[in-house]
Chain A
Amino acid sequence: MLKNLSLLGLLLPGLALGLAPSPANAQTEAESPDAHPTFFIRGFGTLGLARSSSDQAEFVRDLSQPRGIKGGDWSARIDSVLGAQANWQATPEVELVGQIVSRYRYDESRTPEVMWAFAKWEPDTRVALRAGRIGADFMMLADSRLVGYSYLAARPSTDFFGPLFFSHFDGADASLTLPLGKGLVRGKVFAGKTQEKASDVSGIWDTSGSPVRGLILDYSTGSWQFRASAARIRFSNDFPLAPLPDLLRSFGASGAAGELSTAGKASRFYSLGVVYDQGPAQVQGMLNEIHHESGLFQNSRGGYLLAGYRVGALTPYAGVSWWKSTSKNLATGLPDVPFASLNQTFDSVATASAADQTTYTLGARWDVYPNVALKLQWDAVRGSSRSVFPVRAEQAGWNGRTNVISAVVDFVF
């Protein structure tokens, strides 16, 4: 019977019903008493309230968000999420997975979107091949950024994951896991095309159809896990900057206009990560480096360190993270007289992707029920006034500093 329904058709009614079924009663009864259930509907969500003290800029979770929070007002905008997933083990080797998520989007709506919709084939327990819409695993843990219940802090570090506005792409990946020494080594390659949009004050940037590819290498042994990854995206479209590029060209500054184009140019993401997880203690540290061929974006480096220790149902944690970009020192080459205002506009565009900040985090996670966690977190963002990329709608007087308090309830069902 299940075979006649599409995965999406199975998911949509679930979302409409508010996803009441728990995993236990969502399982279909297996025909044979010894076969295990093969169909699951599960869900996750976060109800998050946060306030950011600065009046001069809006704090966002990552750069996919067009607006953020500011001025000390409590808001549920940036962290609240609801998602549902269906898994169907069609045969022992083939599984179909679909996930729908409603979150704050580039167009300021919460229209549900298909996050994943793929078929997974495991011809052998060591090999997995997936095709369809899959997670953009650009950096360690990047493919589960929306499932608050699965991580320790209130949200993934903005300094680290903020620049990554991709959640998924349409394509395929292949992974191989093998024992090596006392541990396990896993390699994964992926390739496909993005289907996502981002937005900024200047408008909506459609990155659909941009080819992506990457590889990941993991090694885990005992309490340690190490990861290195590299990914590349070649943008299909230009960032909406009209009429600036045409103006520059008309005055002979085609070089500067060309610097601002993104179409056909690649951005590369590199990351290294280590996780130590031993009983009640867990520590994560990650580093990234992002290179953009386009002059529109400054290259950047970021990192974070997060440590927590569980005491009963309570896990206090502390962390530090940073995001720093390097200016490409671009100029139009045109004299200030009579091009002062054109030069100024160009400079403001070329420095709009500057980041220079460090964030200190303190918080606690309380596992209230086996499927519900409550988190309270304080983030002190300490940056320079040039650090405008990580925030939205910055105004004159933005000094790069804000304090963010977050109270979130994460759940899975």
Chain B
Amino acid sequence: MNVRNTLVGLCLLLLSQFAMADIVVVANPKAGIRWLTRDDVVNIYLGRYRRLESGLTAEPIDLSGEPEIKAMFYRKLVDKSLAEINAYWSRLVFSGQTQPPQMAANTAEALRRVAARPGALAYVERSKVDRRVVIIFEFGDE
């Protein structure tokens, strides 16, 4: 039936949207982070406070090469557009304060850097998470 097919199609579409939107923050297992709160992630990514409980300095990574994922991450984290995030960093950078997150061209590079540096953090799609890293924050389950 056409209607039924359409409905199933819609459901699949919605599911895929949810799956796409499932972004998690990962860290190096050596960082000793068990879990971060949303405030912790905001403080790290917006450069307000980057000291981890272990004393390590958090080194957040932005997925500059994947703007859809980046946009989705900041939308979910602080409900800001990428333009607003850019404006925010312009103020801090050009007044000589904190540096913005480092840039990674893609998820694979971000994961590789997290795996290589104990303080590195990155946001990636849950489906891309592998054994080199651990999930330390997920949206909607705080």
Q: Which residues of A contact B (CB under 8 A)?
A: 24, 33-34, 36-37, 42, 44, 83, 85, 87, 89, 92, 95, 97, 99, 116, 118, 120, 124-126, 130, 134-135, 137, 141, 143-144, 146-147, 149-151, 177, 179, 182, 184, 220, 222, 278-280, 310, 313, 367, 370-371, 373, 412
B 69-107 contacts with A by CB, 8 A = 78-84, 86-88, 90-91, 93-96, 99, 102-103
Measured CA separation A179–B40 after assembly (Å)? 10
The residue among B83, B90, B95, B96 with the most chain A CB atoms within 10 A of its own CB is B96
Give the chain B neighbours of A147 by CB distance below 8 A: 90-91, 94-95
Measured CA separation A37–B82 after assembly (Å)? 22
- Whether A150 and B87, one on each chain, are in contact in the complex, defined by CB atoms closer than 8 angstroms, is yes
- Whether A184 and B84, one on each chain, are in contact in the complex, defined by CB atoms closer than 8 angstroms, is no
Measured CA separation A370–B89 after assembly (Å)? 12
Given contacts A280-B79, A310-B81, A313-B83, contact A150 B90 (CB under 8 A): yes
Give the chain B neighbours of A179 by CB distance below 8 A: 49
Measured CA separation A313–B84 after assembly (Å)? 10
- Whether A87 and B94, one on each chain, are in contact in the complex, defined by CB atoms closer than 8 angstroms, is no
Query: Beyond A118-B96, A310-B81: 20 further Cβ-contacts under 8 Å?
Result: A33-B112, A36-B102, A36-B113, A42-B93, A85-B94, A87-B93, A125-B50, A135-B96, A137-B95, A141-B91, A150-B91, A151-B87, A179-B49, A220-B48, A310-B84, A370-B83, A370-B86, A371-B86, A373-B83, A412-B86
Asked if B16 CB lies within 8 Å of chain A CBs, one says no
Give the chain A neighbours of B43 by CB distance below 8 A: 184
Q: Which residues of B contact A (CB under 8 A)?
A: 39, 43, 48-51, 57-59, 64, 78-84, 86-88, 90-91, 93-96, 99, 102-103, 112-113, 116-117
Report the minimum CB–CB distance from A367 to chain B (whole Å): 4
Give the chain A neighbours of B102 by CB distance below 8 A: 36-37
Measured CA separation A34–B117 after assembly (Å)? 7
Chain B residue with Cβ nearest A147 = B94
- Whether A143 and B83, one on each chain, are in contact in the complex, defined by CB atoms closer than 8 angstroms, is no
Report the minimum CB–CB distance from B71 to chain A (whole Å): 10
Report the minimum CB–CB distance from B83 to chain A (whole Å): 4
Report the minimum CB–CB distance from A83 to chain B (whole Å): 7
What are the 3 closest A-B residue pairs judged by CB atoms, nearest first? A279-B79, A367-B83, A150-B91
Given contacts A313-B81, A367-B81, contact A130 B96 (CB under 8 A): yes
Measured CA separation A151–B95 after assembly (Å)? 13
- Whether A116 and B96, one on each chain, are in contact in the complex, defined by CB atoms closer than 8 angstroms, is yes
The residue among A125, A137, A143, A222 with the most chain B CB atoms within 10 A of its own CB is A125
Give the chain A neighbours of B103 by CB distance below 8 A: 24, 36-37
Measured CA separation A37–B109 after assembly (Å)? 14
- Whether B96 and A182, one on each chain, are in contact in the complex, defined by CB atoms closer than 8 angstroms, is no
Report the minimum CB–CB distance from A167 to chain B (whole Å): 11
Chain A residue with Cβ nearest B46 = A220
Measured CA separation A280–B75 after assembly (Å)? 10
- Whether B83 and A144, one on each chain, are in contact in the complex, defined by CB atoms closer than 8 angstroms, is no
Measured CA separation A75–B87 after assembly (Å)? 26
In the assembled complex, 5 residue pairs joining A and B whose CB atoms fall closer than 8 Å, in A order, are A24-B64, A126-B51, A144-B90, A177-B48, A310-B81
Given contacts A99-B96, A144-B95, A313-B81, contact A149 B49 (CB under 8 A): no
Chain B residue with Cβ nearest A36 = B102
- Whether B94 and A44, one on each chain, are in contact in the complex, defined by CB atoms closer than 8 angstroms, is yes
Measured CA separation A142–B87 after assembly (Å)? 16
Give the chain B neighbours of A371 by CB distance below 8 A: 86
Give the chain B neighbours of A280 by CB distance below 8 A: 79
Give the chain B neighbours of A143 by CB distance below 8 A: 95-96
Report the minimum CB–CB distance from A281 to chain B (whole Å): 9
Report the minimum CB–CB distance from B6 to chain A (whole Å): 29
Give the chain A neighbours of B82 by CB distance below 8 A: 370
- Whether A34 and B113, one on each chain, are in contact in the complex, defined by CB atoms closer than 8 angstroms, is yes
Measured CA separation A34–B114 after assembly (Å)? 9
Partner of A182, one of B39, B79, B81, B86: B39
